[in-house]
Homo-oligomer: A and B are copies of this chain.
């Protein structure tokens, strides 16, 4: 019956017998009004069903944006998915809105996403990883908003960072494999021509092998997206080429599970013939016939912390530049 009833500050103000500005003050809980006025205004707000217009607020000279941009490599990953879930839930809880994008592990995609984001004048940005194009860096500088780089430990962040050391994750897993008596060890990764954090884990992994007087026997970097298929074919490729390998470290759990599928289908035993380790701590890892040896990433905690650090910055609270989220190597039955 009634048209969309666009109730704005003006309408509330008229109904409550005050000025627009006073209504604005009440709603933002700023000072400069009596308790009596507040009650009258809030009553009208409830009665007329006022819907705030963040667009106008963010647009005005005050630049009071509550928009936060978040960019992850992809949506089809449980790890990034649950991280996003946590970031989103916490930012929402704290009164912010998120604008989420994905860049498929391509820095130039990230840049074009950021350019698009910038046109919405966001209050802050959360990025995954530390590899950015020069254009991205320039844009970030021009935007002059708080930035949180997550996922990858970054002791010299653009602004702040919340993450853990992928290098150490790899290093630790190599030492675990050595302790378990593995000697001819291979690595299977994906997205060969991109800068992934998996690459950093591989480096830490190699380093530990070297430090142990050993070396990485073989390495297979697929060009596909990481996933069950990639693990399956990666295992096939590297083990056909190098049948003497006695252990494989996969870029993530999905790939490890895919790899195990190939290995067991070949009649080889895990970990007897081939030890297998993954990374990420996904659910499926723990219900395999043999529990997968992996590194568990506390994505919920990471996302929550990232959100809180960003909001801390926005509110001007003192926040640490670098926050380390502890990960945990969980020895399963596959190494």
Knowing A4-B144, A144-B4, A232-B287 are in contact, say whether A76-B78 is a contact too (CB < 8 A).
yes
Min CB distance A156 to B, Å, is 23
CB distance A121 to B53 under 8 Å? Answer: yes
Q: 8 Å CB contacts to B: which residues of A155-189?
A: none
Contact of A102 among B78, B85, B261 (CB under 8 A): B85
Min CB distance A85 to B, Å, is 5
- How distant is the Cα of A284 from the Cα of B257 in the complex, in angstroms? 9
- How distant is the Cα of A52 from the Cα of B113 in the complex, in angstroms? 14
CB distance B74 to A227 under 8 Å? Answer: no
- Interface digits, A116-153 against B, CB 8 Å rule (1 contact, 0 not)? 11111100000000000000000001111000000000
CB distance B97 to A97 under 8 Å? Answer: no
For A229, the closest partner residue in chain B by CB is: B283
Contact of A75 among B82, B118, B262, B265 (CB under 8 A): B82
Which of A54-62, A207-215, A314-322 is near enough to bind chain B?
A54-62
Contact of A81 among B74, B92, B116, B289 (CB under 8 A): B74
- How distant is the Cα of A85 from the Cα of B283 in the complex, in angstroms? 22
Q: 8 Å CB contacts to B: which residues of A219-243?
A: 227-229, 232
- How distant is the Cα of A5 from the Cα of B119 in the complex, in angstroms? 14
CB distance A258 to B229 under 8 Å? Answer: no
CB distance B59 to A56 under 8 Å? Answer: yes
Contact of A229 among B54, B141, B287 (CB under 8 A): B287
Q: What class of interface size applies to chain A in its complex with B? A: 35 or more
Q: Does A251 make an interface contact (CB < 8 A)?
A: no
Contact of A97 among B80, B116, B283 (CB under 8 A): B116
Report chain B residues within 8 Å CB of A75: 75, 80-82, 84-85, 88
Knowing A56-B59, A100-B98 are in contact, say whether A142-B287 is a contact too (CB < 8 A).
no
Report chain B residues within 8 Å CB of A81: 74-77, 81
Report chain B residues within 8 Å CB of A116: 92, 97
Q: Does A268 make an interface contact (CB < 8 A)?
A: no
- How distant is the Cα of A264 from the Cα of B288 in the complex, in angstroms? 10
Min CB distance A14 to B, Å, is 20
- How distant is the Cα of A88 from the Cα of B113 in the complex, in angstroms? 11
- How distant is the Cα of A74 from the Cα of B144 in the complex, in angstroms? 32
For A4, the closest partner residue in chain B by CB is: B142
CB distance A5 to B85 under 8 Å? Answer: no
Report chain B residues within 8 Å CB of A53: 119, 121
29 sample A-B contacts, Cβ–Cβ < 8 Å, listed by A number: A51-B119, A52-B119, A53-B119, A54-B119, A55-B119, A55-B120, A74-B81, A75-B75, A75-B80, A75-B81, A75-B88, A76-B81, A76-B85, A78-B78, A81-B81, A88-B102, A92-B113, A97-B99, A99-B100, A100-B100, A228-B283, A228-B284, A229-B286, A229-B287, A232-B287, A258-B284, A258-B287, A261-B288, A284-B284
**6 tightest A-B contacts by CB?**
A76-B81, A75-B81, A54-B119, A228-B283, A261-B287, A100-B100
